[in-house]
Amino acid sequence: MTATTPTPTASAPTSTANAARQMTPLAWALLITLSILWGGSFFFTKIAVAEIGPMEIVFLRIVFAAVTLHVVLRLRGLAFPLTWSGFAPFLVMGAINNVVPFTLLTWGQTQIASGLASILNAFTPISTVIILHLFTTTDRATPMKAVGVVLGFCGVAVMIGTAAITGVGDHVLAELACLGATVSYGASALYGRRFMGTPALVTAAGQLTGSSVILLPIVLLTGGLSDLATNWPSGEVVIAMTGLAFLSTALAYILFFRILSVAGPANVMLVTFLVPVSAILAGVLVLGEVLQPRHWAGIMLIAAALVTIDGRLPRRLARLVRYR
């Protein structure tokens, strides 16, 4: 097959134009859609862990998603890098954006409630801002961005409620695992800058393929697949795994890398603030749940965070005040 797409470059883009990008209406729409897909992953995972081990969930989720994306690549006639130099960056990205955080979060959810896991997961934009500030010159943290990520985290905590944090400290290792996942995601945002010139479909397929290669020997050595062969999961778990693989992984990562390309690494991680909002609104629309005052308060804080991080509205207001 003739190569029709660029392979990842050896170094990240360094221009301000590539790194410091504002969110367009399309990017916001993609970000909201991604938050819905990833919001569902907590629901799917909670169902699956009742019958399948954390490592097996991560492996099956990634492998099925990778196979799906390779089929799509073939149908669209897009080339996939088969050389070591072309594939090696995908191995790194797969490790820090899939294998490590998925495993930590999935194991963490076996020890702590989903609500607390969601709050801890909301540290992702904070970790990302810190890492990009320390290791780049074009994605430095600004006071407005710092205020925004803190507002967003507070919004997630308020929305989920104090009940979710009553058990904080009871499972320290699980809580540290969830926080470790956010650091790994932050590192992936930094490393992912090198894929900003690669089509999102190719990057998503490459990352998931790299993750599959890393996980296969681990799963085989732990005997997880043999357990599945003798203890086939229930239909409910099969449906949950299908949603987790095809919606919350394959489709979600196409959107993730598309947003990364058009809006930059810091902005794509804002999805973490929107995931709890999507999950709660889905409960209202699908299950007939009622929004509580804390939900409204959390949504308003998150909205204020996103407006602050985006920066355009505050700058316009500042100009209006200055000219008066």
Each residue's pLDDT, cut to its tens digit, for the chain (324 residues) gives 333 333 344 344 443 333 346 678 888 899 999 988 987 877 788 788 888 887 788 889 999 999 999 999 999 888 888 888 889 999 999 999 988 998 898 788 788 877 778 788 888 888 888 998 889 887 777 888 888 888 888 888 888 777 666 666 677 888 899 999 999 999 999 998 888 888 899 999 999 999 999 988 888 887 667 666 677 888 888 999 999 999 999 999 999 988 988 888 878 888 888 888 877 777 677 667 777 888 888 889 888 888 887 766 666 666 666 666
Predicted local confidence at residue 321, as pLDDT = 65
Give Rg (Cα) of the chain: 20
Which amino acid, 45?
T
Strand locations in 189-241 (E)? none
Predicted local confidence at residue 41, as pLDDT = 79
Q: Where are the domains of the chain?
A: 23-323
Triad 199, 141, 309: Cα angle to 5°? 75
Spatial neighbors of 84 by CB under 8 A, at least 6 apart, are none
Predicted local confidence at residue 243, as pLDDT = 93
Predicted local confidence at residue 227, as pLDDT = 67
3-state helix, strand, coil in the chain (%, to 5): 80, 0, 20
Q: How far apart are CA 286 and CA 244, in angstroms?
A: 19
Predicted local confidence at residue 137, as pLDDT = 81
Predicted local confidence at residue 242, as pLDDT = 93
Which residue bears the tokens 């196979």?
67
Predicted local confidence at residue 185, as pLDDT = 93
- Give the number of other CB atoms < 10 A from CB of residue 118: 22
Which of 278, 229, 244, 247 lies closest to 48, judged by CA?
244
Letter string b/e over residues 299-317, b meaning 16 or more CB atoms within 10 A of that residue's CB = bebbebbbebbbeeeeeee
Triad 139, 143, 144: Cα angle to 5°? 90
Q: How far apart are CA 49 and CA 303, in angstroms?
A: 33
Q: How far apart are CA 261 and CA 94, in angstroms?
A: 17
Q: How far apart are CA 277 and CA 156, in angstroms?
A: 8
Predicted local confidence at residue 34, as pLDDT = 93
Give, in order, the Cα–Cα distances in Å from 56 to each of 59, 115, 250, 271: 5, 23, 17, 26
